Structure 1
Amino acid sequence: MKLRRVLLMAATVMAASAAQADTLVDVARERLNDDVPIPMFKVDTSWPKLPDDLILGQVPGLSVDRNDNIWILTRPNSLDATETGLDSDPPIAVGCCKAPLHVMQFDQEGNLLRNWGGPDIAPGESTVTGKGPEAVETGNEQWPANVHGLFVDDAMTVWLGGNGNGDHVVLNFTMDGKFIRQIGRRQSTDGNGSLEFLGNPADIASNGESVLVADGYINKRIVEFDEGDLAFKQMWGAYGGAPDGGTRDEPFDQSQATSTGDGGANPESRSFGDIVHCVVRGPENTVYVCDRRNNRLQLFRETPSGIAFIKDIVIAPETGGTRTASDVAFSPDGTYVYVADMMNGRVWILLRETHQILGSFGRNGRYPGQFIWLHSVDVDSAGNVYTTEVNTGRRVQRFVFTGLAE
């Protein structure tokens, strides 16, 4: 009997592996250096397993937690009534679909574990009249009008921000969606020099000692706050200097993400461009900042005496449109850096020791393993890579690590 159970278990594992193999699809890839091993991936077309009645909108946030669960931040407001007919009263569709709430947690198999978000769980309340740039808000609601950026810290609390009209706030919640605290305040902004207010923050990184905010859609800076009381600690702009380059007039409109009004990317600019899109803590006390509109990362190191600039990492400098460096992640052992490239629809693979570009995977397109407005990237402890897309991309994808190509 024992042997039979063992054989049955082995058969079950083999069947599961075979089933997964059937859902793994090759992706476009490019290798630029045959002398250095490079990670290889296949996209899992079965992931995630959304409930039958849900549909994703834009996905502007992504974070893998300490337990290898995958969190995404969605924009229900990016879906229209023809996509969410079940949400109408009465429903105007049969079977599908409804919009999910903003924050979604999935396990490794892609099962939905949690789904929460919206104005009801944040302080304040407001009334909005009008639509789009002409909308007028009255009140003190703190939930962002257009969410942007997600980070789950080691204490399993969730941080998120927003880049919509008046969204000058970062909110912190428990993993079940209970409000804890906030940085900044909606409808209040005061430029790059403010010690208290933000300007449409794009991203957050918390390590238990301090919280870094990429304050980057209205302002152009990185701001650091104490983890305990959220008191201001320091701020910096390009090359670690004082934040400069001015601020954007409100409100930010998505069309500005492709505008050439800034004259195009300048990877040698002494100021951050007009979207400081990510802030990511890396190995060895490093901090990576996505200066997306200038097609570069800026690499810093946290030291006892403050932040120290290390180098520029330029990504496809000739690129226009939405530009390139939108997010950063690392292989589990810290050997490789993954850079999400929004305009070119690919994930670049860099050797972290030198930041030499080794190759890439993905391409622009709508099939599995392809990208439209690639926005965020993160990695689990097994080396699997996750990505999200905004605009008309509207999805999260899982790329399974299959080994190193020698």
Structure 2
Amino acid sequence: MSRKIFQISGALILLMLTSATLVIVERVTTAQEATSVPNFEMDPLFFQNLPNSWTTGQVSGISVDNQDHIWILHRPATVAEGERSAALNPPAALCCIPAPPILEFDQSGRLVKAWGGPSQEYEWPTTEHGITVDSKNNVWVAGNGKGDHMALKFSSAGKFLMQLGKKNQSKGSNDTANLNGPAGIFVYEKTNEVFVADGYTNRRVIVFDADTGAYKRHWGAYGKRPDDAFTFPPRAQLIQGPPAQSFSTPVHSVVVSNDDIVYVADRSNNRLQAFTLDGTFLREVFVNRNTLQNEGTVHAFALSRDPAQQYLYVADGSNKAIHILDRRTLTLLDSVGGHGGHNAREFFHLHSLASQPDSKGNLFVGEVNDGQRYYRVRYIGMGKPTNPAYSKVTTQ
């Protein structure tokens, strides 16, 4: 059975029904109108084997720095007992041992550095979640476990520099001193600010000075004050009815484009929202809005490396794909993947996406739960859309 999937290219006509109600009439175009888009292929063999019989658990964060090094954050505690036999006392086998949580790789896929974990200097997350390397080569780490009400800043060599928030101290989504389950971090060089997608319990974006950690501002859905008391309807009703007036949990990712637009992943609401730097709401789009799975569809973002950042890549864990959007119009151009499974060229539990490709245009992804993989999605040039009918992106 053939099916025709449409994408929305933007609202063209606004009809005022009442003083408070707008109906958006949208022009619908097919994705096939995109004549040339970035093409990719899965490259699961890029990363070389780890030394020291090391292995990794769930890969909850991945980042590319300005030297094209790839950084991953994984969860050593999630390495199953049968996969950590060499770490047992006495060892039960020759392999394996959980690697340190932070791993740095060069452009050949070779491990060059490994560090991280608990220390008396700072409060390490109970459950690691999210890593970002900023333009000054500082490494930021967050966590979404019980009591993870903080984020950490290190040098690239692992020297502790700063902690935002304190463990077990959150007072909710309007607490300006503490976080609660921060999921993602983005450092915007132009304003020297750190934007935090906060998170797995809180329902907001919060902004700090990247050097001092001083609180700057925060906001919830539509730029409003976050409301932790907001009650969501049943999911089947949520995805068919009016858009939720609150971010759901988790607020999973945040990036800022060169033209000062903040993109926020409202994962379980199947949408992204765009804002100005001060939190003024601009627009929202839904990605495969009819997805019933509670995990949602908007997991993480990457901004293309060209000066105009023409493309916004969206990782969709529920539908096992990375969607390519025209960033200016937020229309869907193509999708990579969509074939879930454990095969080396399939996504299984897609979770994290480095917020920028490397200088060659390659994307880097990580998987959690039973996926536990990290790999390169190799850019192979511009070409026709390869999977344009797989998904649907709509405005409301």
Tell me the TM-score range normalised by the shorter chain: 0.7 to 0.9
Alignment partners' CA distance in 1, 2:140 and 2:157: 12
1:103-146 deviation line (CA, Å, top 9, x unaligned): 011111100011111113642xxxxxxxxxxxxxxxxxx11110
Report if aligned partners of 1:64, 1:380 keep a CA contact under 8 Å in 2: yes
- The change in CA–CA distance for 1:353 and 1:65 in structure 2 (over 3 A counts) is same
**Aligned residues between the structures:** 344
The one-letter amino acid paired with 1:401 is Y
Report if aligned partners of 1:292, 1:324 keep a CA contact under 8 Å in 2: yes
Report if aligned partners of 1:351, 1:358 keep a CA contact under 8 Å in 2: yes
The one-letter amino acid paired with 1:282 is S
- The change in CA–CA distance for 1:356 and 1:182 in structure 2 (over 3 A counts) is same
Correspondence for 1:375 among 351, 367, 392: 351
Q: Secondary structure at the match of 2:171?
A: coil
Structure with higher helix content: 1
Q: Secondary structure at the match of 1:325?
A: coil
Report if aligned partners of 2:154, 2:162 keep a CA contact under 8 Å in 1: yes
Deviation at 1:345, TM superposition (A): 0.5
1:355-395 deviation line (CA, Å, top 9, x unaligned): 11011011211112311221111211111111111011101
Report if aligned partners of 2:265, 2:300 keep a CA contact under 8 Å in 1: yes
Does residue 191 of the first structure (1) align with residue 179 of the second (2)?
A: no
Alignment partners' CA distance in 2, 1:281 and 1:267: 27
Report if aligned partners of 1:341, 1:374 keep a CA contact under 8 Å in 2: yes
TM-score (normalizing by structure 1):
0.81
Alignment partners' CA distance in 2, 1:262 and 1:230: 40
Equivalent positions of 1:83-94 (< 5 A) are 83-94=83-94
The one-letter amino acid paired with 1:370 is E
Report if aligned partners of 1:43, 1:400 keep a CA contact under 8 Å in 2: yes
* Deviating 4+ runs (over 4 angstroms): 260-267
Deviation at 1:32, TM superposition (A): 3.2
Deviation at 1:220, TM superposition (A): 0.3
Does residue 240 of the first structure (1) align with residue 223 of the second (2)?
A: yes
Aligned to 2:76: 76
Identify which range, 34-43 or 234-243, moves more after superposition: 34-43
Deviation at 1:263, TM superposition (A): 6.1
Deviation at 1:204, TM superposition (A): 0.9
Does residue 62 of the first structure (1) align with residue 62 of the second (2)?
A: yes
Q: Secondary structure at the match of 1:119?
A: coil
1:140-159 deviation line (CA, Å, top 9, x unaligned): xx111101111100111100
Correspondence for 2:372 among 373, 378, 394: 394
Correspondence for 2:247 among 272, 288, 291: 272
Note the residue ranges of structure 1 that are not aligned, 5 or more in a row: 1-30, 124-141, 249-259
Note the residue ranges of structure 2 that are not aligned, 5 or more in a row: 1-29, 385-396
Deviation at 1:261, TM superposition (A): 7.1
Q: Secondary structure at the match of 1:41?
A: strand
Higher relative contact order (CA 8 A, sep 6+): 2
Report if aligned partners of 2:172, 2:228 keep a CA contact under 8 Å in 1: no
1:7-40 deviation line (CA, Å, top 9, x unaligned): xxxxxxxxxxxxxxxxxxxxxxxx9324331111
1:156-180 deviation line (CA, Å, top 9, x unaligned): 1100111111111100111111111
Report if aligned partners of 2:218, 2:279 keep a CA contact under 8 Å in 1: no
